[in-house]
């Protein structure tokens, strides 16, 4: 009898410990946020949230309605602005499926750290979404543009950024954790991809933008935003942005060319890169050495009288491509050193690894003094692996 009583008491105790679904959230009570934009309007934060319309997204626009809705509110803090959206939306916004966060250029210039605290603190925000900076436009405006291939604009931005990083190279994906790590690092400054609206923004907000073969407005990633701590100080152009990614070894695939002596171009497709950044200190003076190994295939030949079957021709092309890549990388270093004095490459971290004691004496004025005058040696080893399905171009056989 005592054993039965003890067993019954144990079962009742376990039942009390069961939590059940006390904090459940029904799907039809939530507004799923996929995109978010943060701008500054006066002294207040202007927060825009792109929410999926499940009915329209399932129909893929067959009824003519937009697959997503944008809610925008203003408040003294980002958290208040988000909660204020409940005055506009019949459902509470849910951020666990956020794909893209656009920081307005205005708030980036002023300092974006305060706007990021909520994103890193709130348990609903995962850290796998990408962060970009709007260029020559408000973050709100970029989230209004309707996109053709991906019906939900935030998904289009997410996929386009990944594709651009893998196949071209002037852009890069940055998650919240990576951004905060750069913000809190003593030897590296943050950098984010720029996003701009190309064309007519007003027409881009309507269904007409996806009903034409040539949309009146498009969203395009353009250059990299350079920061000093949390403040935007300038931009790298496309060539400099590619140089930045080459230096950090982030290029998975890209395309480049060199000119031929008699005119025309030889285009190569980069298929593999490997970069090593090493810091050193000699007599108290820091120095950076960058060695890069590149493998590529010949993709296009416009040159006449160019015999790719000769080893000497391939060797000459490789040397020209090495020189061109070195110049692209040096252009990014010059811009960061002379124009912005911002160590976006993590050279300070390389010096720290090489000589921690010397780094302690350099880190206080690293960006303004030491980085700006830092000698950087770049050496590229370029190898052509394949010539394609043909050897020399048929252009050699065309006689004028």
Alpha carbon distance 118, 98 (integer Å): 14
- CATH, domain range 240-400: 3.30.300.210
Per-residue pLDDT, 165: 95
Per-residue pLDDT, 137: 94
pLDDT (tens, 9 = 90+) of the chain, 400 residues, equals 677 777 777 777 776 666 656 566 666 778 999 999 999 999 999 999 999 988 776 666 556 678 899 999 999 999 999 999 999 999 999 999 999 999 999 999 999 999 999 999 999 999 899 999 999 999 999 999 999 999 899 999 999 999 999 999 999 999 999 999 999 999 999 999 999 999 999 999 998 898 899 999 999 999 999 999 999 999 999 999 999 999 999 999 999 999 987 788 999 999 999 999 999 999 889 999 999 999 999 999 988 778 888 899 999 999 999 999 999 999 999 999 999 999 999 999 999 999 999 999 999 999 999 999 999 999 999 999 998 877 667 766 675 5
Per-residue pLDDT, 202: 93
User: Which residues lie closer than 8 Å to 97 by C-beta, 6 or more apart?
Assistant: 32, 33, 34
Per-residue pLDDT, 222: 94
Query: Percentage helix, strand, coil, to 5, in the chain?
Result: 40, 30, 30
Per-residue pLDDT, 59: 64
**Could you tell me the residue ranges of all domains in the chain?**
29-236, 240-400
The gap from C-alpha 140 to its chain's centroid, in whole angstroms, comes to: 18
CA neighbours closer than 13 Å in the CB half-sphere of residue 176? 19
Alpha carbon distance 135, 114 (integer Å): 20
Task: Kindly report the pTM of this predicted structure.
Answer: 0.90
Alpha carbon distance 223, 335 (integer Å): 13
Residue 178 CB neighbours (<10 A):
16
The gap from C-alpha 58 to its chain's centroid, in whole angstroms, comes to: 29
Answer whether 186's CB lies under 8 Å from 348's CB: yes
Phi, psi of 343 (to 5 degrees): -80, 80
Residue 385 CB neighbours (<10 A):
11
> Exposed, middle or buried by CB within 10 Å (0-12, 13-18, 19+), for 172?
buried
């Amino acid at each position: 009898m005592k054993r039965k009583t003890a067993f019954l008491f144990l079962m009742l105790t376990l039942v009390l410990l069961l939590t059940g679904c006390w904090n459940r959230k029904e799907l039809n009570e939530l507004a799923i946020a996929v995109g978010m934009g943060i701008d500054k309007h006066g002294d207040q934060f202007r927060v825009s949230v792109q929410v999926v319309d499940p009915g329209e997204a399932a129909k893929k626009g067959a009824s003519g309605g937009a697959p997503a809705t944008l809610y925008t509110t203003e408040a003294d803090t980002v958290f208040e602005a988000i909660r204020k959206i409940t005055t506009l939306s019949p459902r509470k916004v849910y951020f666990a499926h956020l794909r893209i966060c656009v920081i307005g250029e205005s708030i980036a210039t002023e300092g974006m750290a305060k706007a990021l605290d909520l994103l890193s603190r709130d348990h609903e925000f995962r850290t796998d979404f990408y962060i970009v900076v709007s260029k020559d436009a408000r973050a709100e405006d970029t989230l209004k543009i309707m996109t053709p291939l991906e019906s939900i604009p935030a998904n289009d931005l997410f996929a386009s950024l990944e594709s651009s990083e893998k196949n071209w190279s002037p852009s890069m994906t940055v998650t919240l954790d990576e951004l905060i790590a750069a913000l809190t690092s003593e030897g590296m400054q943050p950098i984010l991809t720029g996003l701009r609206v190309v064309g007519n923004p007003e027409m881009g907000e309507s269904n007409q933008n996806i009903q034409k073969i040539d949309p009146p407005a498009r969203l395009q990633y353009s250059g990299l935003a350079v920061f000093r701590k949390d403040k935007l100080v300038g931009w790298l152009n496309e060539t400099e942005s590619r140089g930045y990614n080459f230096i950090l070894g982030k290029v998975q695939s890209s395309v480049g060319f060199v000119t031929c002596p008699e005119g025309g171009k030889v285009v190569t497709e980069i298929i593999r890169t490997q970069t090593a950044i090493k810091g050193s200190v000699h007599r108290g003076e820091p120095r950076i050495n960058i060695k890069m190994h590149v493998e590529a295939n010949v993709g296009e030949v416009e040159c006449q009288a160019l015999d790719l079957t000769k080893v000497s021709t391939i060797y000459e092309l490789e040397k020209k491509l090495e020189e061109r890549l070195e110049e692209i990388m040096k252009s990014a270093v010059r811009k960061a050193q002379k124009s912005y004095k911002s160590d976006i490459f993590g050279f300070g971290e390389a010096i720290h690894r090489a000589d921690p004691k010397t780094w302690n004496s350099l880190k206080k004025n690293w960006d303004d003094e030491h980085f700006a005058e830092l000698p950087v040696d770049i050496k590229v080893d370029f190898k052509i692996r394949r010539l394609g399905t043909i050897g020399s171009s048929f252009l050699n056989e065309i006689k004028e």
